[in-house]
Amino acid sequence: MLPVIDRGGFLLSNCPSCLSFFRHAYPSLLPGTGEKIARAALSIYELAEKTPLPVKVSARNDFVYHRACHIIGLGEPDPALQFLRTVGLKPRAVVEQCCGSAGSFELKSENAEASRKIASALKAELEKSGARLVVSACGLCRRKIQALGFEVRNPLEMAAGQGEER
């Protein structure tokens, strides 16, 4: 990985929590090398802004966008939401309620009840929005949202025309 970064390459991620780890934890864990990795870490959506990707936009534009905690933590603007809008996809609503996963938080038995309550709050927000399809950049969030009974896609699937009714 470092030889590619040394030649000006990027460390690409489609996962907000992984990107957050590369940018914020690596400098502390690997002094010197970690800073280099942090500077090279880029979301696929940020790359799409620098180099337009060929997209086949879904005709289905009735979806709610879920802003994952880790993507919010990366700062503004939200690169995945910006990507969707750039390719002509505009969500019906944007929901910023945590899903209750928070990395490994939900996996600890002592957090099970808190995680369930947080997920219930997200379910209520999504139901209130009226959309059946939810788009989220975070894989953990997508898994949790699907378990709540919603159809889920990532932004890249939507741009590839995979957001169609099934």
Quick one: tokens of 142? 């997508």
Assess whether pLDDT exceeds 80 at residue 31.
yes
Question: What is the pLDDT confidence band of residue 52, given thresholds at 50, 70 and 90?
Answer: low
pLDDT tens per residue, range 106-146: 667 887 888 889 888 889 999 998 878 999 988 888 888 99
CA distance 9 to 115: 38
Architecture of domain 64-159: 3-Layer(aba) Sandwich (3.40)
Task: Let me know the angle formed at the C-alpha of 16 by 9 and 31, rounded to the nearest 5 degrees.
Answer: 55
Give the start-to-end residue ranges of the domains of the chain.
2-50, 64-159
- Whether residue 77 has a cis bond before it, omega within 30° of 0: yes
Q: What is the pLDDT of residue 166?
A: 44
Among candidate residues 138, 49, 42, 43, the one with its CA nearest the CA of residue 96: 138
- The answer on pLDDT for 96 being more than 80 is yes
Residue 74 has a pLDDT of 72
Provide the percentage of residues in the chain whose pLDDT is more than 90. 14
Per-residue model confidence (pLDDT) at position 162:
55
Kindly report the pTM of this predicted structure.
Answer: 0.76
